Structure 1
Amino acid sequence: MSISNDALRKVLEEIDQKSQFSSQQITIVKAQLSAKAREQRMLQLTASEVGALPPDTHIYEGVGKMFVMTPSDEVVARLGKETKELENDKSNLDKKLHYLETTYKNSKDSFENILKRAGGG
């Protein structure tokens, strides 16, 4: 079974586009993962600083252009919630990255297989 040159070219172009798209998305997801890791580290540092303070210490959080006094237990609870959300986001991004890397690899393998078949026979 032989494939015409036009059909082969269309298939190769489609695979190449899919591969390029996956490669671009991989770069974006890796940047997002890096940003989430930085955010998580900032939350950990903030939580450790707040945790080291005496319980009756006044804590002020920035809200727009003003600061509002917030009880330390509320700050710790908020930081914990944000940390869990970040972990969930990172987990989802890891899954997306795995999918994109698999798609990229499969596209690349398909491209090479088609070229081998076209050249070899």
Structure 2
Amino acid sequence: MSIPNEALQKLLQEIGQKKAFAEQQLLIVKQQKVANARETRLVQLTESELDSLPKDTKVYEGVGKMFVGTPVPDVKKRLASESDKLKSELSNLDKKEDYLSKTYENSKNSIESVLRGRG
């Protein structure tokens, strides 16, 4: 049983679009992971700087165009919260990357199998 040329062409086009979309999304996810790693490193550096300061040091955080005096424990709490959020985002990005990689590979294999079956 053979597939008509029009149906085969439509099938290849759909699979090709799916493959291209997955490839594009994979690049975006990888860029997001790089940005996430940069933010995580920034939080770690800030935490280590805070830990090296004497206890009575005044700390200021930027709020819009001004700086507000903030107690060190509050800053550490905010940084810990931000770190947890970044870890959660990284976990979600890893899952998304895995899904998109599988979608890309499946699409690629489908195209190859259709072309092998046709040739």
TM-score normalised to structure 1 length: 0.97
RMSD: 0.5
The SS at the match of 2:20 is helix
- Matches of 2:77 and 2:52 in 1, distance apart? 15
Counting only pairs closer than 5 Å after superposition, residues 89-100 of structure 1 correspond to structure 2 as 89-100=89-100
5+ long unaligned stretches in structure 1 = none
Contact kept, 8 Å, 1:29 with 1:97, in 2: the verdict is yes
The residue that corresponds to 1:2 in the other structure is 2
- Matches of 1:4 and 1:104 in 2, distance apart? 25
The residue that corresponds to 1:19 in the other structure is 19
Give, in angstroms, the shift of residue 46 of structure 1. Answer: 0.3
The residue that corresponds to 1:37 in the other structure is 37
Counting only pairs closer than 5 Å after superposition, residues 54-69 of structure 1 correspond to structure 2 as 54-69=54-69
Give, in angstroms, the shift of residue 55 of structure 1. Answer: 1.7
5+ long unaligned stretches in structure 2 = none
The SS at the match of 2:56 is coil
TM-score normalised to structure 2 length: 0.99
Give, in angstroms, the shift of residue 56 of structure 1. Answer: 1.5
Give, in angstroms, the shift of residue 49 of structure 1. Answer: 0.1
The SS at the match of 1:88 is helix
Give, in angstroms, the shift of residue 54 of structure 1. Answer: 1.4
Give, in angstroms, the shift of residue 60 of structure 1. Answer: 0.4
Identity %: 55
Contact kept, 8 Å, 1:51 with 1:76, in 2: the verdict is no
AA in 2 matched with 1:74: D
- Matches of 1:57 and 1:32 in 2, distance apart? 35
Give 4+ residue runs of structure 1 displaced > 2 Å after superposition: none
User: Deviation digits for residues 13-62 of structure 1, max 9, x if unmatched?
Assistant: 00000000000000000000000000000000000001111121100001
The SS at the match of 1:55 is coil
Q: Are positions 1:118 and 2:118 aligned together?
A: yes
The residue that corresponds to 2:103 in the other structure is 103
